[in-house]
Amino acid sequence: MITKETIDKVYEAARVEEVIGDFVQLKRAGSNFKGLSPFSDERSPSFMVSPAKGIWKDFSSGKGGNAIAFLMEHSQFTYPEAIRFLAKKYNIEVEETELSEEDKVVANEKESLFLVSEFASKYFQDILLNSEEGKAIALSYFKERGFTNNTIKKFSLGYSPNQWDALTKEALGKGYKLEFLEKTGLTIVGEDKQFDRFKGRVMFPIQSMSGRVLGFGGRILTNDKKAAKYLNSPESDLYHKSKVLYGIFHAKQAIAKQDNCYLVEGYTDVIQMHQAGIENVVSSSGTALTPDQIRLINRLTKNVTVLFDGDAAGLRASIRGIDLILEEGMNVRVCTFPDGEDPDSFAKKTPLQDLIQYFEDNAMDFIQFKASLLMKDAKNDPIKKADLIRDMVASISKIPDRIKREVYIKETSRIMDISEDVLFNTLAQLVKKDISDLGKKLKEEQTAFEVVKNENPIVAANVDIQYELEHKIIEILLIYGNVEDEFEDVLLKANEKGEMVEVKEMKRYKVYQRIFLSLQEDETELANPLFKSIYDDLITYFNQNETFELEKYLSQLPPELSQEVTSILMNDEREALHNWEAKNIFVKAKDKTISQYVSETILTLRWFLVNKIIDELKSSVTQETEVDNSETLSMVVDYLGLTNMFSKKLGRVISRHN
C-alpha cells in the first residue's frame, strides 16, 4: 500500500493542466484551458480545466474531478496506478507499506488482462536481450533494421521464442491464469493442448495513450509462405484495433507541441522516424484508417500529414482515409517519398534537418495531391478527367467548415481549369444529398423512439429556485468556506428605558461557521439529498482540518459526491448565470465582499422558505363560515413581516414568488 506521505507529495506536485495536457490538446481560455472532450465525439470544445481550482470538467459527458480522477476515467487506472503514474512523471519515489492479503487480490478481470499483457511484454523483452535465441535471431534483425539499443528499449521491442508454449509455461509458472492468457490472445487453447500465438516472432507491444499494453503485433522472421508476415492480437476487452494507434503513447506530447501529426502505415515506420528525431508520428498498424483512430489524433491536433511511399497502387487504396480525416474537420496534407522509398528507409538514411526540409518542401494539401496523383490516369481522357474532378469535389463536400469548402473549390477551379460555378453547383448537389441521407437516418431513428416519446411527453420545467440556492451555498462553501471575514450580527439588547432594541455588531467568522450557524438558527436543512450529503461532509471536514485543499478534499470523497462537487465548481466556467436576479437568486458582484455575498444568499434562502410556509398556510385557509381561520391568518401576517425584514436587509424590493 502506498504511504500517505507519497500520496501527499503527488497531490502537491501534480498540476492538472500538465497531466491532462499529455492526453488532450488544451488552449488557453482566460484563466482556464479548454479542449475537445476525450470521452465523447465532438467538434466544439466542452472540456474545461481550471488550474486555479485544480480540477477539470467535461460538460459533454458530465465527468469531472482532479488529475487523479482524470487518469482513472481516461486511462482506466486504479487509484494506486494513477498515483504511481504521477509519481513517475514528477520523479517522486513511491514508498509503500506491507500489502495485506486482500490488497494482493486482483480487483477485476480487466486489470488482470492488463497485468498479463504487461508481464508478456517484459517477458518478450527479456528473451530478446538475454537469451541466446533472442540475441542471435531477433536482436540481429532489429540491428539490421538500424535500431539502436535505446530505441529497442524505448519501444519495448521483444521476441517470442520459437517454441510452442514458452510464454504460456512461464506465465502459468508465475501464477497467471490460463483464462486471462487466452482472453488477451497470447495463448491459443485447444481441446488437449495450449500454445503461444506469437511463437517465433519479433514483438511490438501496442500501448494506449497512457502507456498501458493493450496488445501486440508480431512479425515472422522465416520465409514460411503459409504464415502471415504480421500478426496482431485478436480483439479483446483491452485491444480494439480500430480504436488504437501504434506509437500514440510516445508521440502525444510531440504532436501537441508541434501541432501536427505524421501518419504512417507500419510499426517500423514509426520507430525509424522516432530514431531520426521526428517524434510526432503514429501508425494505423497496417489497417484501414478508422474514425476512432482519427479522433485520437484530433484530441491532440487539428493537423495531419499523411506520409505515403511511392507505390501508386498503395496510394490509391490509402487516399480513402483522407475523406475520413476531412469529415472530422481536420486539416490534411500529404507527402510522398521517391519511388522505392518508404518512411522507414527514407528516415534511416536522411539527416534530421534534411528530413524536416523534405517534408516542408514536398507536403501538399489534399486537393493538389489528388490532382497530381489521378491526373496521370486521366491524361487527355475527358471522361476520366470529369470523374477526377467529381472525386475532388466529393472530398471537399466532407469538410464541415463552409469557408474552407469555398477556398478549396476555388483552388480546384484553378488547378483543373474549370468554372467555379460548375464546381459550386456540383458541391451543392453533393451536400444536399448528404443532408438528405442524414435526414432519412435520423427519421428512421426517430420512428424507433416514437412510442416512447408519446408515452413520456417532455414538459418544460420551471427553474427550481430552492435547488439553485442550495447549489449556490455549496459553491460558496467550496470556494470561500475557510475564508475569514466580518459579518454583521443583530442582537436584541435593553436600552436605558429597558426597552428591547436591535443592536448591530461586527464579528469575525469563517464562512463555513457563519453558514452553519445561520442554518442552525433557522433549524433549516438542505432539501436536495446530494447537496445535504456534501454540506454535512464539508462542515465535518472544515471542523477537522485547519486548511482546505480542494484536491485533497476531492480525493477522500466517494465518486458520486466528487462528481457533483466538480460540476458545482466548474458551472460558472461554462456559462454565467442568466438573469437570476429576476428569479430572486443573487450572485456575487465584483464590488461586494464575501460576507455580503454569504449573507444575501442565506437571507434569500430564508425568504424563499418563509414564502413556502406562507403558501402552505394560505392553502389551508377555508371559506367555510363555521371554521375559525384567525390564527392561521395571524401567522401569515407575522411571516409577511419577516419577508419585509428580509427585503430591507437585502436592500431590494423583493416580489413575492407565486
First to last CA, the chain: 57
494 and 541 in a single domain? The answer is yes
User: In angstroms, what is the C-alpha Rg of the chain?
Assistant: 33
Final residue belonging to a domain, choices 432, 453, 482: 432
652 belongs to a structural domain: no
Final residue belonging to a domain, choices 101, 122, 153: 101
Stronger pLDDT, 494 or 100, i.e. the higher one: 494
Q: What is the pLDDT of residues 50-72, one digit of tens each?
A: 887 888 888 877 788 888 888 88
pLDDT average, residue stretch 223-227:
82
Tell me phi and psi for residue 614, to 5 degrees. -60, -45
Cα distances (angstroms) measured from residue 344 to each of 145, 347, 350, 457, 612: 9, 6, 10, 60, 74
DSSP 3-state assignment of 489? Answer: strand
Q: Which pLDDT score, from 0 to 100, does residue 457 have? A: 43
Cα distances (angstroms) measured from residue 94 to each of 3, 8, 20, 77, 553: 8, 11, 21, 17, 21
321 and 425 in a single domain? The answer is yes
Tell me phi and psi for residue 10, to 5 degrees. -65, -45
Stronger pLDDT, 121 or 567, i.e. the higher one: 121
Per the structure, the complete domain to which residue 377 belongs is given by 248-432
Q: Which pLDDT score, from 0 to 100, does residue 453 have? A: 39
Q: Residue 24 contacts by C-beta under 8 Å, 6 or more apart in sequence?
A: 35, 36, 38, 47, 299, 300
391 and 253 in a single domain? The answer is yes
Stronger pLDDT, 132 or 291, i.e. the higher one: 132
305 and 330 in a single domain? The answer is yes
23 belongs to a structural domain: yes
The distance from CA 573 to its chain's CA centroid, rounded to whole angstroms, is 17
- The single-letter DSSP state of residue 134 is I
> Do 248 and 22 meet the contact criterion of CB atoms below 8 Å apart?
no
pLDDT average, residue stretch 393-412:
87
628 belongs to a structural domain: no
Q: In total, how many domains does the chain have?
A: 4
642 belongs to a structural domain: no
299 and 408 in a single domain? The answer is yes
Q: Which pLDDT score, from 0 to 100, does residue 575 have? A: 46
Q: The domain spanning residue 120 has which CATH number?
A: 3.90.980.10
Per-residue pLDDT band for 574 (boundaries 50, 70, 90) equals low
Single out the residue of 207, 233, 231, 213 nearest to residue 221, CA to CA. Answer: 231
> Do 409 and 396 meet the contact criterion of CB atoms below 8 Å apart?
yes
Q: The domain spanning residue 83 has which CATH number?
A: 3.90.580.10
- What's the whole-number average pLDDT of the chain? 81
Q: What is the pLDDT of residues 129-159, one digit of tens each?
A: 999 999 999 999 999 999 999 999 999 999 9
Tell me phi and psi for residue 309, to 5 degrees. -80, 180
487 and 557 in a single domain? The answer is yes
423 and 506 in a single domain? The answer is no
202 and 253 in a single domain? The answer is no
> Do 45 and 20 meet the contact criterion of CB atoms below 8 Å apart?
no
Quote the CA–CA distance of 535 and 251 in Å, as a whole number: 44
Quote the CA–CA distance of 120 and 55 in Å, as a whole number: 36
619 belongs to a structural domain: no
Q: What is the pLDDT of residues 178-216, one digit of tens each?
A: 999 999 999 999 888 899 999 999 999 999 887 889 999
118 belongs to a structural domain: yes
138 and 271 in a single domain? The answer is no
Final residue belonging to a domain, choices 71, 101, 131: 101
124 and 223 in a single domain? The answer is yes
Q: What is the pLDDT of residues 624-649, one digit of tens each?
A: 656 666 677 767 676 676 666 666 66
- The single-letter DSSP state of residue 155 is T
C-alpha cell at position 197: 500465438
Quote the CA–CA distance of 525 and 539 in Å, as a whole number: 13
C-alpha cell at position 289: 484508417
Quote the CA–CA distance of 173 and 154 in Å, as a whole number: 28
Look at residue 590 and tell me whether its pLDDT is greater than 50: no
Single out the residue of 361, 378, 368 nearest to residue 408, CA to CA. Answer: 368
208 and 311 in a single domain? The answer is no
pTM score, whole prediction: 0.64
Q: Which of 163-172, 218-227, 517-526, 597-606: highest mean pLDDT?
A: 163-172
Q: Is 650 exposed, middle or buried (0-12, 13-18, 19+ CB in 10 A)?
A: middle
443 belongs to a structural domain: no
Q: Residue 140 contacts by C-beta under 8 Å, 6 or more apart in sequence?
A: none
41 and 18 in a single domain? The answer is yes
Secondary structure (H, E, C), 556-593: CCCHHHHHHHHHHHHHHHHCCCCCHHHHCCCCCCCCCC
Quote the CA–CA distance of 4 and 12 in Å, as a whole number: 12
Q: The domain spanning residue 274 has which CATH number?
A: 3.40.1360.10
Q: Which pLDDT score, from 0 to 100, does residue 499 have? A: 61
pLDDT average, residue stretch 87-111:
70
pLDDT average, residue stretch 5-9:
87
> Do 33 and 43 meet the contact criterion of CB atoms below 8 Å apart?
no
- The single-letter DSSP state of residue 132 is H
564 belongs to a structural domain: yes
DSSP 3-state assignment of 274? Answer: helix
Stronger pLDDT, 45 or 129, i.e. the higher one: 129
> Do 505 and 491 meet the contact criterion of CB atoms below 8 Å apart?
yes
- The single-letter DSSP state of residue 96 is B
Single out the residue of 326, 368, 254, 649 nearest to residue 487, CA to CA. Answer: 649
> Do 656 and 643 meet the contact criterion of CB atoms below 8 Å apart?
yes
Beta-bridged to residue 282, according to DSSP, are: 263
